[in-house]
Structure formats: structure tokens, C-alpha cells
A and B are shown apart, each in its own frame.
Chain A
Amino acid sequence: MAVSDPTPDFLKIKNAFRHFATPEGGSVRALDGINLNVASNEFITLLGPSGCGKTTLLNIIAGFERLDSGSILLGGSSLLELPAHQRPVNTVFQSYALFPHLNIGDNVGYGLDVAGVAKKERNRRVSESLEMVGLSGVEKRRPSQLSGGQQQRVALARAIINRPKMLLLDEPLSALDRNLRSKMQIELKNLQSELGICFLFVTHDQEEALTMSDRIVVLNGGKIEQRGTPDEIYHRPASRFVTEFIGESNIFSGRVLESTPEFSRIDLGGAEVICNNPTLSAGEQVSLLIRPEHFHLKAADEPSSSRGLNAVLEQSVFIGRDHQLHCRMGNGQEVSALIRSSFKALQAGQPLTLEYDPAAWHVIPERERVNEVI
């Protein structure tokens, strides 16, 4: 299939609102003013906890649910007026939704059969599609005779056979075991580049999102918390919610003591940290974040530096290549660090200095916490 030049604003979602009535008589905002543009060749992931609105948005694009207000354009024309069966998008469902009464060939060929494609062309495209997902020669089998991973591939082959302009994937890997899941993540990414179409992937698994996506949109309570590349989302989370949702991190509240163009000094209440974040003003309240893997252990004989947190080791957990250290600082706050395992055993109760690079800190001004909905 030919890969055409990408269009930057291929999918345009503008002011999308949708609320649901709860059985108790209340109302839940599933989409609360979503604005999003997606390029025609982008692997974009909607990431968020359950109930954040990600599946609702996917269902609305697929045509299974309506929008209260707002607009969705695909390739310049409105999608909302079209019934689901006329939309140029296809979906890979969470539980695959393969037709149990049809064999694999007829499942994959379903989209062509209902479109009335000639038998010869249809059979050719069915085997082509199955080949693309690495599952040739199973046309005569029944869905129940295949493993979960194979069913997943059939669902993919079935969804791409109509050559959609956009593929919607609703947590398609959640039922697979860990090894198969990582393998499928890479295959999905490859398939997307091969097809050159937009994949809109919905998941609550941050690791999955970080692995595959060109861009991640973090949703919470029907609102977009942050959009950006996996790198941006991980290293420069825009809000405390994103920080807590993506990866493990140490989050502190602090007050800015001094801020110069080069560095800032922040008081954590009994401890002080130096970080490279020059846009702060003295006296300001901030949230500080540092990932556990950004700490280093300082050897006892090295001279102490100001760029370290003093803490007492409470527990050390061996997790393979690394040790996870649970420590407590002098002011009672907990801090966790991920340290490369070594032969030197660490003892609980041992005082440690957790060294950091001032650039590793990420500072979020407290005023942005207003957005938080928890």
C-alpha cells in the first residue's frame, strides 16, 4: 500500500463535549471540551485511567456514540453526519469481537464481502492482509481454534482490509500476556509505519503508550491534561496528575528560596534542593518531581556535596538489574531511588546521600494544580 504525504491536521476535534447520566440521577462529563489535531500518519495514544473519556472519544469517532456538541473533521469533511458503516475508519476491539460463526477467511474478508468486492480480488486481499499481520494460511480455521495472540492478529487484519484512513484501537493488547504484549507493541508500530495511516490507540497502560506512540494525549476527567511526545510526557509532565500517572516518581512540595537564571534553591521543609529551573520567583509554592532512577548513591569516602538528599535506608528490594531503595529523609518524607545493583550489600537503617543532577528535577508551579480533578 502506498504511503502518501502526511497531512498535519488530518483529524480535527474541536470543542467536543459529551456527558452521561448516571443511574443515581447525576451526570458525568466524559468529554469536557476536547480539542485535538492529529496528523494523517501519526501513532497517537489516548492515555488515562478508566473513566477519563478515552473510550468515549474513540466510540464517537467510530460512530457508536454521539457528541453533545463540538465537531470532528476527518480529511476536511465532517465525520459526525455519517453513520458508523459509512465512516472511513475501522476499529480493533478490546475483546477482538471476531464473528464466531465465520471462519478466519470470512472474518477478515467481511468488510470486502459487504462491499461486494469480486471473489478473486477479495481472496487476494484477505491473504495479503493476513500476511501483513504475520498469520498466513489460517483462512479455514475458526476463531475459537486460535490463541489470544492469533485472534488479535485476525482482528487487526480484518480492520485494515478496508484500507481505512484511520485505525482505532481500543485497548487491543490488554488481554495478552506480558511477553506477547511487548512483541505486539513493536509489530503494531511497524504496521502503522508500513500502512502510513493514523493509528489512534486507547490504553490505560503508560508503558504501552510510551513504547509505541509518536504522541501521547493524557486524559483525565474528560479533559486533556497534556499532549506531547513520550519523552516530553515522561520527563516534563505538565501537571501533578500526569506525574503521578506516568512512571514512578518522587513528588515533593516546596517553597522557592532563591531563583537565579542558572539555578533555583528550593526548601522542602528541612531539606534543600538545587535545580535548574530559572523561571521561578522567590517565595513561590511549587511541586517538585524527580524520577527514582535519577538518584545516584555516593560512596562514603567521597566529599559531600550540596547536590544530595540525606536519607536513611528503610528497605532495599532487589528487582533484577536494579535495587529499589525506600528511604526516609530527615523531615520524615519518603523518597525512593532506583540504584544499579552491586556486590556491596546495603543495610536497612544505613544513612545515605542520594545525589542528583540539578537538571533532573522537574518543577511544576503550584498554581497549575487548580486544573487537577481527582
Chain B
Amino acid sequence: MRSFNGQQKQLLVLLTPATLFLSVFFLGPLLIMAVYSFLEPGLYGGVEWSFYPWSYGRVLGWADGFYEEFDIVYLEILLRSAGLALATVAVTLLLCYPVAFWISRMPSRWKSFCIFMIALPFFSSMIIRLYAWILILRDSGFANQILLSLGIIAEPLDLMYSGTAVILGMVYIFVPFMFLPVYSSVENLDPKLIKASQDLGATPFTTFRRVIFPMTLPGVIAGSILVFIPALGNFVVPSMLGGAKVVMIGNLVEQQFLASRNWPFGATLSMVMILFMLLVVSFYLLKVMKKQRAA
């Protein structure tokens, strides 16, 4: 057996707990789901141990109706979920970028205060915060009452149970995930580079396009991925604010496991979602890296 030197031993000691934890509690369940997705559904939940590719056929198109039937609706739901997740990424980015800039230019004690304020919602339960949004958005909620009393609208608006409500809720939940990486890259940007760009004749817009944005891109990428992935699989926000109207892929998976008791199909949907996410994210990263190298 080869012997380890001091530094390698140290590394071994430091990395073993994390590796063990992740293999047991992350890789393990993932493997179970991967295996289950190819098994036959049991009659009252659980699985029968025989190879059964028809769950995938139901989603991707080769089920012929003998065991299962192909239905395009699952792919539609996946794409719609991706659309909502992308919208969430776009809105959080537009909200966070200017705020991050503004806070990074503040005196340092105000900075810490503002970052604390942004993290503050995490101190309470997400369910409670989403109930608060129901109180705001429902027909007799605060938003409608204010608009009605100001005379801006005559009838209460249908704010709840819509895609808009879901995006609002998701943006609210995921803002800190976008803010923190964007903030750290903006904070690390040397103000002298902005001065240098101006000095060389670049307008503020050109400076943003050629210096500020490329330099803060790593933070934007990190934030986008941190928001996109959990937003795509999220089922709490759509089930509370979207109701039955907005079914996302996360709700579908939840239903298969808890209501329909079709574990293999739930596992299949999860695997398809994971593969889809990997594809989107790696495509995005490849594209961004290529652009960065070209610039």
C-alpha cells in the first residue's frame, strides 16, 4: 500500500466526512431513484422487481398503450416549469444586480446591515411567508383592497392561482440565492477599472457592457444556477400560490409518490428533470465560457 505524506493525510482527514456524508445521503437516494425508475410499479405503492422501461416511454414517447400510454403533457409541464424557473432567474437578476451595486458602494457598517436584511426572511419558515403572500394576493387581500380603495380598479383582480403569483412567490423565495453571489462579484470589482474605462472614452453604457458586466459574470452565472435548479424542482410555491391551475414538474413528482402511488413514474419524472437540468446548465456554461474566451 502506498504511504501518504503529511499534506495528503491532512486532506484525507478533512475530506472523508463530507465524502461519506454525500455518498450515503446524496448519491445513495439518487441511485435508488435511478433504479426504481426502471422497475414496475407495485399495486399499492412500492415496486415490483422486474425491468419496466414503459415509465420512460410514457414521458418520452415509446409507450404504445399496452402497459402505459405516451402523453405529451409531461414534457409540456417540464418545459413550462423551465419557463417559470427562467423567468424567476431573470426577475431576481434584474432586482439584485442594481441593488448589489448600490450596497457595495455603501459605508461598510451599512453594507453588513443591508446584507443582514436581505437574509432576514430566512429566519422564518417558508410556509409562513407564503401564507403571508396568500393574504396579500387573494381576492380580499391587501393588494386588492389598496387598489380598490385608491379607485385604480373597480373589481378585485384575480391575482392568486396564476403563473404571475407563482413567479412572485418564487422570486421572493430565491432573491437571496441570486443576491449573494452577484453581490460578492460586484464587491470585488475594482472601482479603478470603471474609472479607467471612462478615462479611455467609454460612455457609462459601454463601460457596463465591456467592463462591469464581463467582470461580474461569474457571480451572475453562479446566481442563475443557484436559482434555476431549485426553482425548477420547487413544488411548495406552485401548490400554495398556483393552486391546481399551475402544475409544475415538482408538483407532478410529488403527486406520483404521495397521491398516485406510482413510485417508478415519479422516479422517472425526477430522472428526466435531472437530465434536462444538466443539459440546460452545461449548455449555458459552455456558451458563456466560449463568449468569455472570445471577449
Which A residues fall within an 8 A CB radius of B? 62-64, 83-86, 89-91, 93, 95, 97-102, 110-111, 113-115, 158-159, 162
Contact = CB atoms under 8 A, between A and B. Distances in A.
Given A101-B215, A102-B295, A115 B192 contact: no
Contacts of A83: 198
Contact of A63 (B198, B202, B210, B211): B198
A174 to B, nearest CB: 14
Given A93-B192, A111-B200, A115-B201, 10 more contacts: A63-B199, A84-B198, A85-B203, A85-B207, A90-B199, A97-B193, A98-B196, A99-B197, A158-B200, A159-B199
A83 to B, nearest CB: 8
13 contacts: A62-B195, A63-B198, A83-B198, A85-B201, A86-B201, A99-B193, A100-B215, A101-B214, A101-B295, A113-B210, A114-B201, A115-B201, A162-B200
B210 to A, nearest CB: 7
- For the complex of A and B, the 8 pairs showing the least CB-CB separation, nearest first, are A111-B200, A97-B192, A97-B196, A114-B202, A84-B198, A85-B198, A91-B199, A101-B214
A93 B201 contact: no
Contacts of B203: 85, 114
Which one of B195, B196, B204, B214 has the greatest number of beta carbons of chain A within 10 Å?
B196
Interface string B121-149: 00000000000000000000000000000
A89 to B, nearest CB: 8
B201 A111 contact: yes
B208 to A, nearest CB: 12
B292 interface: yes
Which one of B198, B202, B203, B204 has the greatest number of beta carbons of chain A within 10 Å?
B198
B213 to A, nearest CB: 10
Chain B contact residues, majority secondary structure: helix
A69 B212 CA distance: 32
B292 A101 contact: yes
B201 A97 contact: no
Which one of A62, A84, A89, A111 has the greatest number of beta carbons of chain B within 10 Å?
A84
A84 B197 CA distance: 10
B195 A97 contact: yes
A243 to B, nearest CB: 35
Contacts of B292: 101
Contacts of B155: none
Nearest to A108: B200
B206 interface: yes
